Amino acid sequence: MAEPFLDIRNLRIEATVYPPGEPARDIVIVEDVSLTLEKGKVLGLIGESGAGKSTIGLSAMGYGRGGVRIAGGEVWLNGRDIMKGGNRGFRRLRGKEVTYVAQSAAAAFNPAKRLMEQIIEAALKHGVANARQAEARAVDLFDRLGLPEPESFGRRFPHQVSGGQLQRAMTVMALVPEPDLIIFDEPTTALDVTTQIDVLAAIKRAIRDTGVAALYITHDLAVVAQVSDEIMVLRAGSKVERNTAENIINNPQEDYTRALVSVRSITHEEKRPTETPILVARSISASYGKLVQVLKDVSVEVHPGQTLAVVGESGSGKSTLARVLTGLLPPFEGEVTFAGRSLAPALAQRSKEDLRELQMIYQMADTAMNPRQTVETIIGRPLGFYFGLSGRKRRERVVQLLDEIEMGPEFLDRYPAELSGGQKQRVCIARALAAKPKLIICDEVTSALDPLVADGILKLLLRLQKAEDVAYLFITHDLATVKAIADSIAVMYRGELVRYGPKSEVLAPPFDDYTDLLLSSVPEMRIGWLEEVLAHRKMESAGH
């Protein structure tokens, strides 16, 4: 085994938290984590939010985010302890030996400066190259990472390129100073799946061509399996398991890892469409203002007790469809029929009964609940509002609903801030259920959650659908979720419906171009998936 050039020993990281109204106190974020990395290898760090993966990654450049400090352990890089170098040592290290690719390239680039100026800045500051050499290197990397017009790409401003291109430009920025180590911090998390695959391929190619070592931080095991040689699973600041990517995927040792690998394995038997759909949207066209038309002639149906999944990338108009159905955005064309009666286009004209039977669950459970109301008030309000329940009767029903979402009566007096992410979303589900709706619109309800928690929510939704015979209109960009729960699927692209029908038909060939692209872009939990897809696409484009 070659000498490791990055050697983190017994790392302990602490932070000071300032809860309002209480004295400040210290908490431990990372406890006794050790890792080594050889030159030219990629180590994936994976875990849920709060697992400490980003914190560990940043410690490899001796950096702690605001309030975070490295309290114990050593970080050895290229044979020296970087924690002993002081600020001068850090300056020499960062941007030269170790570089960083952030999650949101859009937020990391300075919008007032051209890309090239920012990309070569670190190399110039460190005297690695002069401007001409650095630019030549950047152009070469633009070309290799598949960016358009590599010669002139650097002259653009950040807002003039797409999100995926910006993320690749940031990878170029990290590569220009010829570092020994790159830290990738969730570089594809904010991207659409079809864009993610290009960025992943680019990152993988860049790592292979330059022989740089990398720490790849993500919460998505299927993604990290494509780019890493080895994977380290973290949970609550401690190591769970470290092994080669292949062993982690095919032969996980720990229960937690096994749960991560088998996530998205929900199976759901497709139901046949019924005679009378609960909701029919006919030829809906809608726009914001007068200029931008975001929905063009969309028609869908939802059947009682079934799930229609609306899939698409950001900007496809899927959330706008939800706003039209709920009456928040009256369409300028088309009509919506609900439970056999015509729905008024605007919210204010709808009857209380219409409002009750059509409920909605939001993506961010955090902001969907009033932070100053207790769980009892939040779930109890629809009971009082629609059914006139109050006092003991209302409380009993709230407890019953809490039981349905697998939470106990001890949550009655809690405020949203005292709940975990998954519990918050459960309370939102209970609030929707309290109205005894016929249809619930679920807007990206699992995309802000960690995979295991999201799995729990999906299972709960499926169970409740059986018990309450409620229909879902499920908006998501995640095809794995769609496969797990849908009865029928509507694929949207730029405001138009490109494919629509029962799940088995939509997910079976022959595909249209867009659906094919979308389906093949969803990372699968196996080694070599990325290569297969890329090879397949190359063949297809050669065939055309």
Partner 1 sequence: MRIPISALIGLFFTGGFFLMAVFAPLIAPYGLAEVVGDVWEPRSADHWLGTDNIGRDLLSRMIYGGRTTILIAALATVLSFSLGSFLGFTAAVIGGWIDQLMSRLVDLLMSIPTLIFALVVLSVMPVNITTLILVMGILDSTRVYRLSRAVAVDINVQDFVEAAKLRGERRSWIIFREILPNALSPLVAELGLRFIFAVLFLSTLSFLGLGVQPPASDWGGMVKENKDGIVFGIGAALVPAAAISALAISVNLVADWVLNRTSDLKGGRGG
Of the ranges 148-156, 190-198, 202-210, 371-379, which one interacts with partner 1 (CB under 8 A)? 371-379
Q: Which residue has the tokens 């080895």?
A: 230
Does 355 contact partner 1 by CB under 8 A? yes
Query: 19 or 79, CB closer to partner 1?
Result: 19
d(CA 45, CA 233): 6
Quote the least distance from Cβ 62 to partner 1, whole Å.
26
Q: What is the DSSP letter of 513?
A: H
Q: How far apart are CA 24 and CA 179, in angstroms?
A: 38
Q: What are phi and psi of 289, to 5 degrees?
A: 65, -155
221 or 434: CB nearest partner 1: 434
Closer of 257 and 446 to partner 1 (Cβ): 446
**What 3-state class would DSSP assign to 153?**
helix
CB 310 within 8 A of CB 476: yes
Q: Please, which residue, 193 or 369, has the CB nearer to partner 1?
A: 369
Q: Is residue 360 part of the contact set for partner 1 (CB under 8 A)? A: yes
CA-based nearest residue to 219, from 204, 206, 201, 231 = 231
Please say which residue, 119 or 281, places its beta carbon nearer to partner 1: 281
Residues in the interface with partner 1 (CB under 8 A) total 29
User: Distance (Å, rounded) from C-alpha 52 to C-alpha 236?
Assistant: 7
Give whichever of 55 and 326 is closer to partner 1, judged by the CB atom: 326
Could you give the CA distance from residue 78 to residue 371 in angstroms, rounded to a whole number? 49
Q: Is 312 in the site for partner 1 (CB under 8 A)?
A: no
160 touching partner 1, by CB under 8 A: no
508 binds partner 1 (CB under 8 A): no
* Separation between Cα atoms, residue 232 and residue 227, nearest integer Å: 13
Residue 438: C-alpha distances to residues 386, 432, 471 (Å): 14, 10, 6
Measured CA to CA in angstroms, residue 109 lies from 103, 105, 113, 386 at distances of 11, 6, 8, 49
CB of 422 to partner 1, least distance (A): 17
Binding residues among 381-420 for partner 1 as defined by CB under 8 A: 381-382, 385
- Does 370 sit near partner 1 (CB under 8 A)? yes
Task: Tell me the C-alpha distance between 185 and 164, whole Å.
Answer: 15
Distance CA(12)–CA(403), nearest Å, equals: 40
Nearer Cβ to partner 1, position 435 or 506?
A: 435
Question: Which residue stretches of 276-413 are H helix?
Answer: 318-326, 352-357, 365-368, 375-387, 391-404
Residues making up the chain, counted from first to last: 544
Identify which of residues 10 and 349 has a Cβ nearer to partner 1 in the complex. 349
| Cα distance between residue 164 and residue 504, in whole Å | 31
Q: Is the dihedral of CA 52, 264, 313, 204 positive or negative?
A: positive
Q: Quote the least distance from Cβ 16 to partner 1, whole Å.
A: 12
Q: With binding defined as CB under 8 A, does residue 364 bind partner 1? A: yes
Residue 20 touching partner 1 (CB under 8 A): yes
Binding to partner 1 by residue 18, rule CB under 8 A?
Answer: yes
Q: Site for partner 1 (CB under 8 A): which residue of 144, 350, 459, 526?
A: 350
Given a contact cutoff of 8 angstroms between Cβ atoms, the answer to whether 273 and 306 are in contact is yes
Q: What is the end-to-end Cα distance of the chain in Å, rounded?
A: 46
CA atoms of 109 and 244, how far apart (whole Å) = 34
Whichever of 88 and 352 has its CB closer to partner 1, that residue is 352
Q: How far is residue 230's CA from residue 253's CA, in Å, rounded to a whole number? A: 14
Judged by CB under 8 A, the stretch of 17-25, 47-55, 264-272, 508-516 that binds partner 1 is 17-25
Q: Does the protein bind partner 1 through residue 71 (CB under 8 A)?
A: no
Query: What does the block give as tokens for 95?
Result: 């941007």
Kindly state whether residue 436 participates in binding partner 1, applying the rule CB under 8 A: no
Contact between 403 and 433 (Cβ < 8 Å):
no
CB closer to partner 1 out of 193 and 435: 435
By C-beta, is 146 or 384 nearer to partner 1?
384
Binding of residue 367 to partner 1 (CB under 8 A)? yes
Mask: binding to partner 1, 130-159, rule CB under 8 A, as x and -? ------------------------------
Binders of partner 1 in range 21-60 (CB under 8 A): 21-23
Cβ distance to partner 1 smaller for residue 131 or 346: 346
> Which one among 405, 435, 491, 518 touches partner 1, defined by CB under 8 A?
435
Stretch that binds partner 1, among 15-23, 193-201, 485-493, 523-531 (CB under 8 A): 15-23
In angstroms, give the least distance from the CB of 435 to partner 1: 8
State the minimum distance, in angstroms, from the CB of residue 464 to partner 1.
18
Binding site for partner 1 (CB under 8 A): 18, 20-23, 326-328, 347, 350, 352, 355-356, 359-360, 362, 364, 367-373, 381-382, 385, 431, 435
